[in-house]
Structures are given as C-alpha cells and as structure tokens.
Amino acid sequence: MSASQTSNPTSSQTSSLPVLFVNDLVLLPGMVVPIELDEAAQAAIDAARSGGHEADGRVLVAPRLEDRYASYGVIAGIERVGRFSGGAPAAVLRAGSRARIGSGVSGPGAALWVEVEPVDEVVSDAARELAEEYKRLVVAVLQRREAWQVIDQVQRLTEPAAIADTAGWAPYLGDERKRELLEQPDVEERLTRLLAWTREHLAEAELTDKIGHDVREGMETTQREYLLRQQLAAIRKELGEGEPEGSEDYRARVEAADVPDGVREALLREVDKLERSSEQSPEVAYLRTWLDTVLDLPWGVTTEDSTDVVAARAVLDADHHGLEEVKDRIVEYLAVRARRAERGLQVVGGRGSGAVVLLAGPPGVGKTSLGESVAHALGRKFVRVALGGVRDEAEIRGHRRTYVGALPGRIARAVKEAGSMNPVVLLDEVDKVGADYRGDPAAALLEVLDPAQNHTFRDHYLELDLDLSDVLFIATANVVEQIPGALLDRMELVTIDGYTEDDKVAIARDFLLPRQLERAAVGPEEFTITDEALRELAANHTREAGVRQMERLLARALRKAATRLAGDAEQVAVDVADLPDLVGRARFTPESAERTAVPGVATGLAVTGLGGDVLFIEASAHAGGSGEGGRGGLTITGQLGEVMKESAQIALSYVRAHAEELGVDPAFLDRAIHVHVPAGAVPKDGPSAGITMVTALTSLATGRPVRSEVGMTGEVTLGGRVLPIGGLKQKLLAAQRAGLTEVFVPLRNEPDLDDVPAEVLEALTVHVVGDVRDVVRGALEPVGAGSAAEGEAAAA
C-alpha cells in the first residue's frame, strides 16, 4: 500500500450470512433503519440470532431487484427486534461494511445463506479532497433545511468513505442512484458522482427557491398594497377627508369597461397614480378628468348600418329636393357596405373602411342639413363639428395634458358626443380654417381625413390610438380653391352648384313653407301662397344660389300674416300682387340691357363664394398721356387681383394686334384705355373674364354695343384661343337668374354641359367657342345698330 492510501480495517475474509432482501430501500454503511419483517425477513433475522454458522447476530441486507440478484449489500447488525405500533413485526438494523455477494450456501433454518466477501475500500488523497468538497455541499443542503444537529454530526466525519455513505440519507437521491453507490467499491468514483448529483440538486433547489420567492413577493406586494390601502382609508377617515372621490369606482369602471387591451393598461396606470395621490394634489383633478374622458368614449360601441338601399334613397329624397349626385354617392356607399356585409368582408378597425366626402357649393344649398339626412338614411348617430374660424391646431388634435384646462380635440369630442365609433361627422366650413403661430388646423386634418391612416388617429390629450376608420366624414365648403391641395386630395369632391328657379319653387313649397308655418304657429289653411308668387320671390326678390334668403322672406311674410290673423283676418292668401305689402318691393331686376346700352360694356359670368354671378366689364378711352402699358396706357380699377389685371393687359394686346380683323381703327387704341369692373369694394380675381374684356374693348373701339341678352366666360390667350374655366354650372345658373338668353363658353368646357339642368339649357342658347373672334362676332350688335357717334361719346 502506498503512503497516500489507507485501507478500511474491515477484514477481507469470506464468510456466510443469511440474506435479508428489502424493497424500496437501499441501505448504505452507517445507516440505522427499522425494517418491517415479512416471512423471509423473519427467517433471516431468526437465523442470525440463533448464533450458529458464523452469523453471530449479523445479516446481509441487499436490495431486491426484479431482473437479477443484487451483487452488493451491507453487513448489518441486529440492534433490536420487536413490533411497530401497528403490531407488525420489525427489526432495527445498523449497517456496517459494504460486502460483495457470492454464491449461495447451506445453512440452518429457513433463511437463504450466501457467501459474503467484505470490500476493502481504498482511499486516495484525491478522494479526501473530494470528500471535503462533498461535505461542504452536504452542509449547504442541510443549511437550506435548517438541520443544525445533523450538520454537527456531518462536520465530525473525517473518513471519505463514511462521508460518501451519508448519501443514503439524502432524500433527493433515488433508489437507482443509491444502488449505484452501493455497488461502487471505489470511494473516489462514488464521491465524484455524488458531487455532480448534489450540485445538480442545489441548482434546482435554488431555481425553485427563486421562483417561490418571486411568487411570494408578488403575493406579499398585493397583500401589502391592500393593507396599505385599508390603512390609508382609515387614516383619511380619522382626518375627516374620506376616500378620494371615485378612486375605487375608477378601478371598478376600468375593469368592467369594454376597451382595447392597450387602453386598459393606460387607464390602470392612471388609476394607480390617482390612488397614490393626495386629495390636495392638483394632479388629482387632471387625472379624474382624463379618466372620465377616456371612459366616456364609446370604445367598441357601433350602430348597425341600414342595409335597405331603397329605403335610404327614400329618406334622402324626402329630406332634400334635387342633389342627385350626392344622393347617388351615399346610396352607392351604402350598397357597397351591404354587399361586403353579406359576404363577410367587413373591415373592423382597419384601413379604408370609412369614407370622406366633400360637399362644395354656395351657401344655402343644403350642405349642412344633408349630413343629418345621410345619418338618418344610414341609421347612424350624427354630430356636427363647426370649423369656421378655427386657427388652433389643438382644436383638432387636442391639447397636451401638461396645459391647464387641456381638453381633447374636436374630433375626439365628436365621437364621444355621438356615443358610437361609426357616426356621421359633419366637418362644417372646412375651407374657412386658418393658420397662425398656433399651427395649421388644416394640416392636422390630414390624418383625420385619410382612410389609410385614421384607424390609428392619436389625440394629443388622450395619447391613445382612436380608430376613426369606420366614421363617415362629410366636409362642407363654399370655395374649394381655399382648401389646401393635400387636404383636398384626401376627400371625394361632390359639387353642389345651386338651384334653378323651378327647384327653388319646389323646395319652398315642400320644405321651407311647412317649416316656417310651424315656427309661426300658422296653419296651412290660414296661409296660402301661389307658385307664381314663389317664382317671383325666387326671380326678383332674391338672387342667390341657395334658398336661405328665400326662407327669410317666407318667414317675414308669415310674421305679417300672423299679425293679420291676430286681428280680424281669417285667412291670408298671397299672390304676386300681394308680395310688396308682405316682403317689400323686388330688389333685383334685369339690368343687362341698361348696362350694355352703350359701347364698351360686356356681361361676363363669374363664381364667388356665394355662387355664380354676372360681372359687367366697362371700358372707356380718352386722349392723354401714356400709362403703365406704354403707348396710350392702360388703367385698371375695381380691386382686381393680379391674374385679372393680366387678363386686361392680354385683352388689350390682342385687340391691338388684331385690330384690322376686328374692324378697329389702330389709332383709337393709342388713347389712354381705362378698364373698370364695378363693385369696387369687392375683391375679384381669376382669368375667366378674358374674353369679356376683349369683347368690351372691341365694342368700345368699334362703337358697336354688346347685345344685352348675351353673357360670356372664358380665358383668352395672346393668340385669341379661348381656354376652359371652372364653375360652368354655377355661371349658367347665374345667367338664367340675370335674364340672359345666350352664353358663350369655351369649347373645352363642352363636357361640363352634361351637369347643367335641362331646364337651364332650354332657357339658354349656349355657344361653345374656341376662338375669341367668334365671341366678338356673335356678341356685338350688327354694324349699323350702334352709331360711331355713340362710340366717340363713350370714348370721350
């Protein structure tokens, strides 16, 4: 034996012992255990205690294996024989040395006897080092179990074999591993395996402890918060403050609310802040306002669209006369949604499921009231957002919560007011928003009115994604040109150009008169008015694209009628002759004949914010010095824009360049020319008066008056080409109202005539022209109808 090795003093002499097989137990040297005795075990104990055949009170204890006999066991002494508390026979055994099992031998009694060879256990220096390391691990395991007495016993062990055999008591080692230890005579190998197994157990135990600690910590935090809230409530009660108003109610409301997960998380964060805040904190009011605002939004609430296209069209027809294009667009939108619903293609909370329509036209044509009719036809909630004069971007997107008095924007407030996520929202007067140092509201509307973006609209006050994709936005405007191009591109433009006289009479009879009768508390049998009187009101008492002024006149007539009915009158019947007494004398009479009676005056057609209108262009000439344009010079007045001033210069240049073709004396054009557009207080601009100015200048220079029944519109080039213009329908409606019978329009505007009502085209003779010379030939009085003297007088 080398100096670095020691030998266990156990003898290596072979002997024979009775065998006691045990189930579900592996006995290692040094263990003392009680064993229940069955018949075979009892025989082995009796044989060992008989004192014969070398047993001397010892038995060989081996595990019972299913597939083979055990090859190793332990020699155990019998400490005591008795019974368990239940009465079963038992014996207390003390395990001694490890032994190798040989072949069976004969022996006394009914026990099984085998040859036994004790195992010499060799201990190396490496085994001693491993034993010390294993002892430290065992102590660590025992410390986790707080088995302090056992730790003392382990600390007193010095022999590596004994230290290794303490694994028999380890509950984390299974029987298979313990059998491996029993059958391994090499101490160093046993310790190597034990170190790996014990480290694995400690790692698992630490992970289990960490998980358990985290779970306990979470439970303790919840319990602690609950306890602190109870204590806080008690403290506030003692101080007379009471519970912060609604704090518990807010948490319950959030938990019960049907809101998206992201919104719920944000709400719970703010509720936590509210519960931690003192009643005197100024933040409490802001938190409550924000929570109330978010909880009051109709998250997940939608109304079911009506799918009856015929019924929807009937509702629109009953509410509004005419406006066929708008009604067709709404019915088409409803028809598409109905078909998508039938095929299960609904887009919920996604891109493009809503619609944005822009109704553009003059005042009084029913744009605003149409929005409410659309909501009625669709079965949706309706809310109106007035944008006229809005100059603050925060009105659209909301204020940051850091500002005092912060509120959500008008869009979020409109959804809250509607009480559903798919209302009809009317954005009234979208062309009248302005921009200043507070931002551009029109730019803030870009996201709101883009069906590809508004499903994640973010209000600055809410700081939450608000799905506007299912909202039907209807915007209204008077002047499309005042809407920024990027915003206009996001909306579907539907133009409402105004009503004809027949339309106005029908609207007055079917809509305006019943409403004003109700407001004046006058019965239909007490007040009657003829269609001729209504036509007179539309033609000569009002001159507008819509019917707002006409409704005011009807209200005025009904007020006077109510006064008469309050006296001795029983009924008021109104005809054309009765109108001066009820609404005053006619304010508008045809003036084209009077204005164009002298050369140099032509009737043009224009479009303003109030609809179409006639525009008289006056020209005169006088001898004198040169002006802006050289030669005789050109003076332009009437508060004109730059484009219209350029049109006047182009017109004069054209007439000078084509004087011979137009029958104009070139010397006449060397005089100082003055072009004036009356109503000088009204700003005017645009190129569509070009051919009117050419006609007026030619009329002045030739002395031939312009025919009084003729109106015209079109841009002119230096070469005399007539270019297209906008607003043709409104201009033709204005021509009809003004009593004109012939109109010259650009050739390239001919397709626009399809949108003009048939009754207007029947009342007007429309000439489409591509060259301004055709306009001059057709608009001027024939040669001889006007004298040259008249032209000279006008020029002077």
User: Where residue 689 sits, what CATH number does that domain have?
Assistant: 3.30.230.10
Same domain, 532 and 551: yes
Confidence at residue 721, expressed as pLDDT on a 0 to 100 scale: 93
Q: Mean pLDDT, to the nearest integer, of 607-636?
A: 74
Structure tokens at 60: 């060989």
Residue whose C-alpha is closest to residue 199's, from 240, 245, 256, 138: 138
The reply to whether 411 falls in a domain is yes
pLDDT tens, residue by residue, 367-425: 888 888 888 888 888 999 888 878 877 888 888 877 877 888 888 888 888 888 888 89
How far is it, in rounded angstroms, from Cα 393 to Cα 390? 8
Most confident of 44-53, 197-206, 453-462: 197-206
Q: State whether 602 and 714 are in the same domain.
A: yes
Is pLDDT of 292 > 60?
yes
The band of 10, judged by pLDDT with boundaries at 50, 70 and 90, is very low
Q: Is 225 within the bounds of a domain?
A: no
The answer as to whether 612 is a domain residue is yes
pTM over the 0.75 mark:
no
Task: Specify the pLDDT at position 537.
Answer: 87
User: pLDDT at position 3, please?
Assistant: 35
The torsion of the CA quartet 193, 195, 196, 200, rounded to 10 degrees, works out to 140
134, 189 in Cβ contact below 8 A? no
Structure token digits, residue 145: 């179990």
Instruction: Examine the pLDDT at 181 and tell me if it is beyond 80.
Output: yes
For 114-131, write each residue's pLDDT tens digit. Answer: 888 888 888 888 888 888
| Structure confidence at residue 269 as a pLDDT band (50, 70, 90) | confident
Could you say which of 495, 521, 539 is where a domain stops?
495
- 505 has pLDDT over 60: yes
pLDDT (average), residues 39-47: 86
Report if residue 162 sits inside a domain: no
Give the model's pLDDT for residue 627.
47
The residue among 247 and 784 whose pLDDT is bigger is 784
Nearest partner of 121 among 55, 70, 72, judged by Cα: 72
Q: What's the number of domains the chain is made of?
A: 5
Q: Is 271 a residue whose pLDDT tops 70?
A: yes
Name 728's Cβ contacts closer than 8 Å, sequence gap at least 6: 713, 745, 749, 752, 753, 755, 756
Tally Cβ neighbours within 10 Å of residue 322: 19
What is the helix (H) or strand (E) element at residue 99, kind and residue range? strand 89-105
The answer to whether position 486 is within a domain reads yes
368 belongs to an annotated ligand binding site: yes
Angle at the Cα of 85 (from 83 to 91), degrees rounded to 5? 30
Q: Where are the beta strands (DSSP E) in 538-682?
A: 572-574, 601-608, 611-622, 634-637, 672-676
pLDDT value at position 722? 92
CATH of the domain at 479: 3.40.50.300
Average pLDDT over residues 287-313: 83
Give a yes or no: residue 511 inside a domain: yes
Strand partners, 60: 19, 75
Lowest mean pLDDT among 17-21, 81-85, 499-503: 499-503
**How far is the C-alpha of 61 from the C-alpha of 63, rounded, in Å?**
7
3 state SS for 305-329: CCCCHHHHHHHHHHHCCCCHHHHHH
Same domain as 698, residue 604: yes
Pairwise CA distance, residues 547 & 264, whole Å: 50
Q: Summarize pLDDT for 678-706 with one digit per residue, the tens.
A: 887 778 788 888 999 999 999 998 988 99
Is pLDDT above 70 for 2?
Answer: no
Are 508 and 489 within one domain? no
Which range scores top for mean pLDDT: 300-304, 355-359, 778-782?
778-782
Q: Of 56, 90, 120, which residue is a domain's last? A: 120
Contact status, residue 698 vs residue 780, Cβ threshold 8 Å:
yes
Strand order in the sheet with 472-477: 382-386, 424-428, 472-477, 355-360, 492-495
Is the CB of residue 90 less than 8 Å from the CB of residue 20? no
Task: Please check whether residues 396 and 490 belong to one and the same domain.
Answer: yes
654: alpha, beta or left, given left = phi > 0 and alpha = psi -120 to 50? Answer: alpha
- CA distances to 102, 164, 189, 213, 227 from 144, rounded to whole Å, are 42, 20, 26, 14, 31
365 annotated as ligand-binding: yes
Both 544 and 649 in one domain: the answer is no
664 pLDDT above the threshold of 90:
no
CATH assignment of the domain containing 542: 1.10.8.60
Over residues 65-73, mean pLDDT: 82
Do residues 28 and 182 touch, judged by C-beta distance below 8 A?
yes
CA pair distance 160, 173, nearest whole angstrom: 19
* 8 Å CB contact between 472 and 359: no
Q: Which pLDDT belongs to residue 52?
A: 58
- 135 known ligand binder: no
Residues 737 and 639 in one domain: yes
Has residue 644 got a pLDDT over 60? yes
Boundary of a domain, candidates 540, 560, 583 = 583
Mean pLDDT to the nearest integer, 200-226: 82
Q: How confident is the model at residue 649 (pLDDT cuts 50, 70, 90)?
A: very high
For residues 100 and 14, give the distance between their C-alpha atoms in angstroms, rounded to a whole number.
9
How many Cα atoms within 13 Å fall on the side-chain side of residue 145?
14
Same domain for 620 and 681?
Answer: yes
pLDDT at 366 over 60: yes
Q: Is 364 labeled as ligand-binding? A: yes
Annotate 420-437 with b (16+ C-beta within 10 A) or e (fewer): bbbbbbbbbbbbbbeeee
Residue 224 lies in a domain: no
Q: Are strands 710-712 and 742-746 parallel, antiparallel or unpaired?
A: parallel
Higher pLDDT, 219 or 796: 219
Q: How confident is the model at residue 650 (pLDDT cuts 50, 70, 90)?
A: very high
Do residues 477 and 275 touch, judged by C-beta distance below 8 A? Answer: no
Q: Which residue has the tokens 């055949």?
A: 53
Residues 489 and 574 in one domain: no
Strands 6-7 and 382-386: unpaired
Tens-digit pLDDT profile for residues 548-597: 888 889 999 889 888 888 888 788 888 888 888 888 888 876 677 777 77
525 burial (CB, 10 Å; 0-12 / 13-18 / 19+) is exposed
pLDDT of 1: 34
Proportion of the chain above pLDDT 70, given as a percent:
91
- Cα dihedral across residues 773, 778, 783, 786: positive or negative: negative
How many helices and strands in the chain, by DSSP H and E? 29, 26
Question: In whole angstroms, what is the distance from residue 285 CA to residue 291 CA?
Answer: 10
Beta bridge partners of 637: 676
Q: What range does the domain containing 623 cover?
A: 592-795
Mean pLDDT of 247-266: 79
pLDDT confidence of residue 717: 92
Please state, rounded to an integer, the average pLDDT across all residues of the chain: 82
Whether the CB-CB separation of 274 and 250 falls below 8 Å is answered with yes
pLDDT in the model for residue 792? 44
Q: Is the pLDDT of residue 793 over 60?
A: no
Tokens of 644: 């219209």
In terms of domains, do 570 and 617 share one?
Answer: no
150: left (phi > 0), else alpha (psi -120 to 50), else beta?
alpha
The verdict on whether residue 367 carries a ligand-binding annotation is yes
Question: Which CATH number goes with the domain that contains 39?
Answer: 2.30.130.40
The DSSP-derived string for 259-296 is --HHHHHHHHHHHHHHHHS-TT-THHHHHHHHHHHHHH
pLDDT higher than 70, residue 280 = no
Same-domain status, 251 and 369: no
| Percentage of the chain modeled with pLDDT above 90 | 8
Residue 666 assigned as binding residue: no
The CA distance from 495 to 479, in Å, is 10
Cα 369 to Cα 502: distance, rounded to the nearest angstrom: 20
Active site residues: 688, 731
772-779 and 690-702 are packed helices; what angle lies between their axes, rounded to 10 degrees?
50
* Residue 457 one-letter amino acid: F
Containing H/E element for 424? strand 424-428
The least confident of 225-239, 543-557, 616-630 is 616-630
Is the predicted pLDDT of residue 349 greater than 60, yes or no?
A: no
What is d(CA 215, CA 131) in angstroms, rounded to the nearest whole number? 36
With H, G, I as helix, E, B as strand and everything else as coil, classify residue 102: strand
The reply to whether 112 and 14 lie within a common domain is yes
Question: For residue range 712-767, what is the model confidence (pLDDT) as tens digits?
Answer: 999 999 999 999 988 888 888 888 888 888 999 999 989 988 888 888 888 899 99
Burial label, 153 (beta-carbon count in 10 A; 0-12, 13-18, 19+) = exposed
Decide if 630 is inside a domain: yes
Q: Which residues pair with 357 in a beta bridge?
A: 474, 492
Cα–Cα distance, 22 to 178 (Å, whole number): 14
